[in-house]
C-alpha cells in the first residue's frame, strides 16, 4: 500500500480558546477497520466531524484516496464515497423508514424506481424490512441506530465512519450490529469506528488510535494498545499505570 486510503495529517481543531483536537496524525489503509478510542471528551467526535466535513480543520489536512478533502462540505464527501453515522442519531423522524433510506439512495440512483429497489436491499441488509412503512420516530433506539447505518450504506460508500453504533444496545442487538460490521468488512469496506464498548472495539478493530485531551497518545493493534501505559493511565488513572 503506497498511498494510504485516508491520511489524517497533523489535524488541529480549535473552538475559540479550546483545542479539541491537537496535532493528530494517523492513516487508514484500504479494507481496514480502525477503532478510535479515548475517554469522554477526548475529541473523538470532533475528529469525526472534521473528517466528514462538518468542521474545517484549524490546521493540518485530510487526504482521501489521494485527494485533499480538508474543509469540503459533507454532501460533497458523500458523493466521493464517505458515509457516516451520528452518535446522537439523526433520523428524519416524520418520514417512514423506507423514505429515510430512499433519500440517501437518490445520491447514486437519481431515478425513483432504481432508488427504491436499492433502498429495499439496504433495508434487507440492516434488518429493517418489516419496519419499512413505520415512521422513523416509531423505531426503538436499536432500530434508529440500524437506520443510521442503513442511510450511510445507501450512499454506497467506500469508507464508513461509525460513531457509537453499538453503545446503548442490549447484548443481542449489539451482536447483530457487530455481525453487520464484520459482513461489511468482508465485502471490502474500510471503516473508522468510535465505540465505548471495549469488548466490541477490541474484537473488530485491526488497529486502534487512542486520543486523550485531543492528542494522540497511542496507536497499534488492540493487543499493543491495551498494554500501553499511557492508555492505561488515561482510562484508569496514574496509580494504575
Partner 1 sequence: MKNFTARQGVLAFVVLALVFLPLLSSDTFVLRVVTEAVMWVGLAIAFDVIAGYTGYLNFGHGAFFGLGAYTVGILMMKAELPFAVALPAGGAVAALAALIAGFPTLRLKGAYFAIATWALSRAIQQLALNMDITGGPDGMRLDAFLNPQFFYYLMLGAVGGTFLVLWYLLERAPFGLKLKAIREDEEGAKALGLNPTMLKMQSFILSAIPTGILGGIYAYWITFIDPSSTLGDLVSDQAVVMVVFGGMGTLFGPAIGALLIFAFKTVFWAYLSKFQLLYLIILGALIAVSVVFMPNGLWGTMLKRRNTVRREPEAP
- Is 4 in contact with 29 (CB distance < 8 Å)? yes
134, 167, 197, 202: which one binds partner 1 (CB under 8 A): 134
Binding residue for partner 1, selected from 94, 171, 188, 237, defined by CB under 8 A:
94
Distance CA 40, CA 19 (A): 15
Nearest-5° Cα angle at 144, 109 to 149: 45
Please identify, using beta-carbon distances, which residue of 107 and 202 lies nearer to partner 1.
Answer: 107
Contact call for residue 116 and partner 1 (CB under 8 A): no
Site residues for partner 1, 41-70, by CB under 8 A, read: 52-54
57 versus 150: smaller Cβ distance to partner 1: 150
Q: Which residues contact 16 (CB under 8 A, 6 or more apart)?
A: none
Q: Does residue 26 interact with partner 1 by CB under 8 A?
A: no
Which residue do the cell numbers 491520511 mark?
A: 7
The Cα-based distances of 232 to 92, 198, 199, 202, 227 in angstroms read 40, 13, 16, 14, 7
Residue 110 interacting with partner 1 (CB under 8 A): yes
Count of residues interacting with partner 1 (CB under 8 A): 34
Q: Which stretch binds partner 1 (CB under 8 A): 23-31, 148-156, 208-216, 222-230?
A: 148-156
Contacts with partner 1 in 153-172 (CB under 8 A)? 154-155
17, 113, 133, 239: residue in contact with partner 1 (rule CB under 8 A): 133
Residue 139: strand, helix, or coil = coil
Nearer to partner 1, 110 or 171 (CB): 110
- Rounded to whole angstroms, how far apart are CA atoms 141 and 156? 24
73 binds partner 1 (CB under 8 A): yes
Q: 160 is written with which cell numbers? A: 464508513
Q: Rank residues 141 and 241 by Cβ distance to partner 1 and give the closer one.
A: 141
Smallest Cα–Cα separation from 34: which of 201, 235, 232? 201
Amino acid at each position: 500500500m503506497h498511498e494510504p486510503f485516508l491520511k489524517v495529517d497533523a489535524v488541529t481543531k480549535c473552538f475559540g480558546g479550546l483545542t479539541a483536537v491537537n496535532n493528530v496524525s494517523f492513516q487508514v489503509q484500504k479494507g481496514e477497520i480502525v477503532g478510535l478510542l479515548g475517554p469522554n471528551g477526548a475529541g473523538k467526535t470532533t475528529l469525526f466531524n472534521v473528517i466528514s466535513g462538518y468542521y474545517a480543520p484549524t490546521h493540518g489536512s485530510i487526504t482521501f484516496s489521494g485527494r485533499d478533502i480538508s474543509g469540503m462540505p459533507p454532501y460533497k464527501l458523500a458523493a466521493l464515497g464517505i458515509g457516516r453515522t451520528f452518535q446522537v442519531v439523526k433520523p428524519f423522524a416524520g418520514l417512514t423508514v423506507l423514505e429515510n433510506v430512499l433519500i440517501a439512495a437518490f445520491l447514486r440512483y437519481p431515478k425513483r424506481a432504481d432508488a427504491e429497489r436499492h433502498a429495499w436491499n439496504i433495508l434487507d441488509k440492516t434488518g429493517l424490512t418489516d419496519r419499512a412503512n413505520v415512521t422513523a420516530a416509531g423505531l426503538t433506539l436499536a432500530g434508529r441506530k440500524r437506520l443510521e447505518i442503513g442511510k450511510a450504506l445507501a450512499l454506497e460508500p467506500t469508507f464508513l465512519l461509525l460513531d457509537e453504533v453499538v453503545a446503548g444496545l442490549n447484548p443481542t442487538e449489539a451482536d447483530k450490529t457487530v455481525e453487520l460490521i464484520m459482513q461489511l468488512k468482508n465485502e471490502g469496506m474500510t471503516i473508522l469506528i468510535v465505540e465505548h464498548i471495549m469488548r466490541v472495539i477490541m474484537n473488530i478493530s485491526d488497529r486502534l488510535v487512542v486520543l486523550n485531551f485531543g492528542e494522540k497518545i497511542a496507536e497499534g493493534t488492540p493487543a499493543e494498545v491495551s498494554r500501553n501505559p499511557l492508555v492505561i493511565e488515561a482510562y484508569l488513572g496514574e496509580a494504575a499505570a
